[in-house]
Structure 1
Amino acid sequence: MSQTSQATADPTVIEDKSSFIIAISEFWKSYRKNKPAIVGTIIVLFFILLAIFANFIAPQGINDQNIANRLQPPSPAHWFGTDDFGRDIFSRILFGARLSLRVGFLSVIGSIIVGTLLGVLAGYFGKALDVVISRVFDILLAFPSILLSIAIVAILGPSLNNALVAIAIVNVPVFGRLVRSRVLTVKEEEYVMAARSIGMGDMRIIFHHVLPNSIAPIIVQGTLNIATAILDAAGLGFLGMGAQAPLPEWGKMLSDSREYIQNAPWTVLFPGLAIVLVVVGFNLIGDGLRDALDPRMKN
């Protein structure tokens, strides 16, 4: 038998693939039993589809103004009514979903990358490096997240992209401390000690053993933090520190419509409802992932 055939028939590789398939199957069985998590998944997928196909669904452009139709209540012509410039609120919410979801996903991805890197360095190598990184985390966590975000945006300048950067920076210590605590536990496991005893290098140990066994809490925390990031982006937009006109970001829409809350409540109702639904959806998914991935929750 050739070397290629032997490699293909390697029982270790087959066992690893089989174990992975079994783990995915067990995860899905556990996750789908969580009805709130399924509801959250449907909500989030619904908004993602709206964001993807906004160009085809939106009845009007996001900046199409008609002063004659300003502050019109919901009707067949304008499902969610119009704002103070006569723009269709339904169309703006659809395109606003793109902005809010983009901020949520990209800021959390950035936080995970940087936080995981710093957390691994602090937890695995320890000593002075751990002290320095941990103190930086402590300093960042000493500030309320929204205040720190405002300070960063004030330095960088008000814009949606700068708000995204600020939210990512604020969330770095959350993932950094999570990964650090997980690494401190995993690196003392017997299989890690065995790998070190046979001469496996630190980088191979980190990428083959430490990180794969730390991924579950990162996924759960990341899902929950997407909801937080969307809320922070909306808060910054409401304060005028995030998205700037004429972008249809949901927080900015709330800010622009607050003076019409009594005469035209629909201008505030629908953007606020969109924020609530997306945040609740991600929180339900996060809770479902935690229950499905945490062995202590199995029973």
Structure 2
Amino acid sequence: MAQVTVNVSKPAVPAEQPGPWRDAWRAFRKNKNAVIGCVLIIVFMIIAIIAPFIAPFDYKEQALLERLKPPSSTHWFGTDDLGRDLFSRTIYGARISLWVGFFSVIGSIIFGTILGVLAGYYGKWIDMIISRLFDILLAFPSILLAIAIVAILGPSLQNALYAIAIVNIPTYGRLIRAKVLSLKSEEYITAARAIGMKNNRILISHILPNSITPIIVQGTLGIATAIIEAAALGFLGLGAQPPEPEWGKMLSDSRQFIQTAPWTVIFPGVSIMFTVLAFNLLGDGLRDILDPRMKN
């Protein structure tokens, strides 16, 4: 009898569907700067979250007999002029800096996006009023305007957050306005109007989703700027108030001990440097990945 061979073909494995976000993820993994920045940010976030569990001392605890002690096995970063453990204060300071950075940028993005969309989409007198408001805010150096706002509201960490958010609103507002101006003349927006789609639905379904890319990039870079501005306000005594362990305030309190106890300045300063560097690396990487003009 002849043997009959039956070829059973295996079902084809569906190919991985391409998409803009999937392509962006692949490009992100290949971008070393973005990956390094992301890893550093995750490390700082973890440190901020678990600070109560890894801090060997209470950041408010004073021990005057231990003041200005150099780094040792007991106090890894040494102590400050009041005998407080600098390691504990530095890791708690990560909480404050990240909190101010994230929430001030979120506030700037929310209000900047609303104003930018209204100005770009509706135009006319609305655009004129909002654009002049942005011009007025941008006419002042951001740190000086933040100082003026905090001086009016009163020195505190919360008021510093409000000030940083306010001075950065025009940055996001003008960015969104320019993007909306270019999008509202697109054919699919014209088609949406032709079929009777209302303006609020066009904004939510078409304008905002296509405007999110530059906001992600600018927001990441903006967190680094917000951290520096918060440190500057803290250094001037207008941000976090004692005994809160804000890095800028720690630098201000320790500036008179730069020569006799340099560790009191080094560790808060290095923490600011690495945190800002991490967000700048991530922001530059996201710009290279998400900006079509940066692609080959």
Normalising by the smaller structure, the TM-score range is over 0.9
Q: Using the alignment, how far apart are the partners of 2:295 and 2:53 within structure 1?
A: 43
Question: What amino acid does structure 2 have at the position aligned with 1:293?
Answer: L
Query: What CA distance in whole angstroms lies between the structure 2 residues aligned with 1:93 and 1:191?
Result: 52
For residue 151 of structure 1, the aligned residue among 138, 145, 148 is: 148
Query: Residues 84, 216 of structure 1: CA spacing in aligned structure 2 closer, same or farther, 3 A cutoff?
Result: same
Match in the other structure for 2:134: 137
Displacement after TM superposition at 1:220 (Å): 0.4
User: What is the distance in 1 between the residues matched to 2:179 and 2:236?
Assistant: 37
Query: Runs of 4 or more off by more than 3 Å in structure 1?
Result: 18-21
Q: Please state how far the C-alpha of 1:34 moved relative to its aligned partner.
A: 1.1
Paired with 2:165 and 2:121, the residues of 1 have a C-alpha distance of: 23
Residue number among 157, 160, 164 corresponding to 1:163 in the alignment: 160
Structure number with the higher helix fraction is 1
Q: Which letter maps to 1:64?
A: E
Q: Which amino acid aligns with 1:155?
A: I
Residue of structure 1 in register with 2:268 after alignment: 271
Question: Partner of 2:34 in structure 1?
Answer: 37
Which whole-Å deviations, capped at 9, do the CAs of 1:42-94 have from their partners, x for residues lacking one? 11111000000001110000011111111011111111110001100010011
Deviation (angstroms), 1:296:
1.8
Give the structure 1 partner of residue 236 of structure 2. Answer: 239
**Number of the residue aligned with 2:109:** 112
Name the aligned partner's letter for residue 137 of structure 1: F
Larger radius of gyration: 2
Q: 2:38 is aligned with what amino acid?
A: T
Q: Which amino acid aligns with 2:219?
A: G
**Pick aligned residue for 1:178 from 157, 175, 181:** 175
Could you say which residue in structure 2 is the equivalent of 1:11? Answer: none
Residue 63 of structure 2 is aligned to residue 63 of structure 1: no
| 1:202 and 2:199 matched | yes
The equivalent of 1:48 in structure 2 is 45
C-alpha distance 162-19 of structure 1, shift in aligned 2 (>3 A): farther
Among 53, 70, 74, the residue aligned to 1:77: 74
Q: Which moved more, 1:33-42 or 1:20-29?
A: 20-29
TM superposition shift of 1:22: 2.5
Q: Distance in 1 between matches of 2:267 and 2:155?
A: 25
Give the direction of change, closer, same or farther, for the CA distance of 1:129–1:245 in structure 2 (3 Å limit). Answer: same
Q: What secondary structure does 1:151 align onto?
A: helix
**Secondary structure class of the residue paired with 2:19:** helix
Paired position in structure 1 for 2:281: 284
CA offset at residue 21 of structure 1?
7.3
Give the Å deviation of 1:294: 1.1
Q: How far did 1:31 drift? A: 1.0
Q: Distance in 2 between matches of 1:88 and 1:102?
A: 22
Partner of 1:7: none
How far the C-alpha of 1:36 sits from its partner, in A, is 1.2
Q: TM-score, normalised by structure 2?
A: 0.94
Structure 2: tracts of 5 or more residues without a match: 1-14
How many Å separate the matches in 1 of 2:213 and 2:274? 25
In the TM superposition, what is the alpha-carbon distance from 1:20 to its structure 2 partner? 9.4
Question: 1:113, CA displacement in angstroms?
Answer: 0.3
Report the more deviating stretch, 98-107 or 29-38: 29-38
Secondary structure of the structure 1 residue equivalent to 2:155: coil
The equivalent residue for 1:254 is 251
Of 204, 207, 212, which aligns to 2:209?
212
- Name stretches of at least 5 consecutive residues in structure 1 with no aligned partner: 1-17
Tell me the CA shift for residue 30 of structure 1. 0.6
TM-score for both structures, normalised by structure 1: 0.93
CA-to-aligned-CA distance 1:227-248 (integer Å, 9 cap, x gap): 0000000000000111111000
Partner of 1:15: none
Letter in 1 for 2:113: T
Amino acid paired to 2:189: V
CA apart distance, 1:24 = 2.3
Q: 1:91 to 1:280 in 2, by over 3 A?
A: same
